[in-house]
Amino acid sequence: MASTSRPPIIAVMGHIDHGKSSLLDYIRKSNVVEGEAGGITQHVSAYEAEHEYEGAQRRITFLDTPGHEAFHALRARGASVADVAILVVASDEGVKPQTLDALTAINDAKIPYVVALTKIDKRDADVEHAKATLLENEVYLEGLGGSVPYTPISSKTGDGIPELLDLVLLTADLAEVSADPEKPASGFVLESMQDPKRGLSATLIVKDGTLKTGTFVVAGEVSAPVRFMENFLGKRIKEATPSMPVLVTGFSVLPPAGTPFVTASSRKEMTKLITGNTKSHTIANVIAKSDTDTAILPLIIKADVTGSIEAIQHELKKVTHERAEIRVLSASVGAVSENDVKQARASDAVIIAFDTPVDASARDVADRIGVSIESFTVIYDLEKRVEELLIAHAPRITKEENVGEAKILKTFNSTAKKHVAGARLVSGVVSINSDAKVMRRNVEIGRGKITNLQQARADVKEIRTEGEFGFEIETRASVAPGDTIVLYKIVEE
């Protein structure tokens, strides 16, 4: 079965006391299926809610763990349990240090986010000030020169929360959140605990496939038979579909939060998966200790004969990059096996198969757990593909590229955050929403964004011809006649 859309998994993050818990409480009380909200236990790490969007009831999974252990653990793995984040910013305070920490976590996880401007019911709420503090920290909201969606809300009255959930679902739809419910389940450990009645238990969230009773969960070197499961309401269920949080008991050891899990259909397959994870544990540690400034592309090479391996390794020495390097974890003769796939999964490696078959069982496991197997019969093709992988693996470096320059002739209206001035185009082009540097005697005194342009008393989108024009800039710098405005864009090298 092909992948289909699944309910989005949402992480709510922000500064302490900015309304994260109040927002989650309101959603829990108002949007959990009617008659069932009271069944939620005192502490759950995730729960499901429903919201009507475009005429249909849609399911949303919210993560509800302070700081969310799994979210932070997965940052180091370059993955995230969440699909979309809500960044809460109190309208009476604006951006605070933990807001920036949350923003860093969201950006590191490479997931889209929406901003909730909370506490608008308070007497000292100042939504415009809160938006300005976001702009100062390079969070460019929709309608203010950027594309980050936002909405003001009150978790006390409920104002704005339906609109917030609309934004969350729209953002998830644009991200094309999907899963294949026919696959064996895979996902992540949200949290684990020792229950006096149930024993060693873990809350899992299914990101792909369907988790069923009678199967086995393997999380790293830890496992559990899935004899029974409970949903977030504490009700027993026989299967958990994509995006569902579920409690599983019977683990041999508590699995760490953030650990990916897969499923096995038999105890024998479970044992094989655990053995593969154990053997490759030291390899993963070696990779983790690599130079943090250089990205590592781990490879597992399988070939038809030893001569092919020698030729491949010789050619791979020619494939270099200043910010990434190839690391061959193993090179051996024979078909690609399940053990190769398990080793690749544990070390995030790509399997390179040269003139050798891939066992059907290995292909099935690779497809299920997302391991890439690249097959070749020509060494040149192999070399070129590895070069592409290495380039894709390398950290991106960005730089500023100047696109225009203008000299300020006269200033008009000014506030602490906005300035209107007249200028003369010196070179290049000036466009609305252009990023700008304010220069005084060749020294940068501030940065901002062009928000309006006029020429011959008419609003225009850009200035391309040399001559005088009027403009509005959002910046905290004090703009004065004689200053130079340098327009720039960010480009990847």
Q: Give the tens place of pLDDT for each residue, 374-414.
A: 999 988 899 999 999 998 888 877 788 999 999 999 999 88
* pLDDT attached to residue 1: 54
Q: Of 159, 178, 197, which marks where a domain is finished?
A: 178
pLDDT at 31 over 80: no
Angle of helix 281-288 relative to helix 267-279, nearest 10 degrees, comes to 40
Residues 94 and 108 in one domain: yes
169 and 232 together in one domain: no
Question: At residue 198, does pLDDT exceed 70?
Answer: yes
17 & 156 share domain: yes
User: CATH code at 292?
Assistant: 3.40.50.10050
Banded pLDDT at 18 (limits 50, 70, 90): confident
Please tell me the predicted confidence (pLDDT) of residue 276: 63
Residues 171 and 190 in one domain: no
pLDDT of residue 278: 54
pLDDT at 77 over 50: no
pLDDT at 2: 63
Same domain, 320 and 467: no
Mean pLDDT to the nearest integer, 466-490:
93
What's the CATH code of the domain at 436? 2.40.30.10
Residue range 343-364: average pLDDT?
A: 90
Banded pLDDT at 284 (limits 50, 70, 90): very low
Q: 426: domain range?
A: 398-492
pLDDT classification of 32: cutoffs 50, 70, 90: low
| Same domain membership, residue 28 and residue 160 | yes
- 244 has pLDDT over 50: yes
pLDDT band, residue 281 (cuts 50/70/90): very low
Q: Residue 36: what pLDDT?
A: 45
Query: At which of 152, 178, 204 does a domain end?
Result: 178
437 in the same domain as 376: no
Q: Taking the model in full, what pTM does it have? A: 0.55
406 shares a domain with 359: no
Per-residue 3-state assignment (H helix, E strand, C coil) for the chain: CCCEECCCEEEEEECCCCCHHHHHHHHHHHHCCCCCHHHCCCCCCEEEEEEEECCEEEEEEEECCCCCHHHHHHHCCCCCCCCEEEEEEECCCCCCHHHHHHHHHHHHHCCCEEEEEECCCCCCCCHHHHHHHHHHCCCCEECCCECECEEECCCCCCCCHHHHHHHHHHHHHHCCCEECCCCECEEEEEEEEEECCCEEEEEEEEEECEEECCCEEEECCEEEECCCEECCCCCEECEECCCCEEEEECCCCCCCCCCEEEEECCHHHHHHHHHHHHHCHHHHHHHHCCCCCCEEEEEEEEECCHHHHHHHHHHHCCCCECCEEEEEEEEEECCECHHHHHHHHHHCCEEEEECCCECHHHHHHHHHHCCCEEEECCHHHHHHHHHHHHHHHCCCCEEEEEEEEEEEEEEEEECCCEEEEEEEEEEECEECCCEEEEEECCEEEEEEEEEEEEECCEECCEECCCCEEEEEEEECCCCCCCCEEEEEEEEEC
Query: Quick one: average pLDDT of 441-459?
Result: 92
Who has greater pLDDT, 164 or 37?
164
Considering the domain architecture, whether residues 439 and 339 belong to the same structural domain is answered as: no
Task: Give tens-digit pLDDT for 316-341.
Answer: 988 999 888 998 888 888 899 998 89
Q: Are residues 293 and 427 in the same domain?
A: no
Predicted pLDDT at 288: 39
Q: Which of 336, 363, 393 is the last residue of a domain?
A: 393
238 shares its domain with 344 = no
Number of domains in the chain: 4
- Domain check: are 212 and 161 in the same one? no
Q: d(Cα 206, Cα 218) in Å, to the nearest integer?
A: 13
What is the per-residue pLDDT for 300? 94
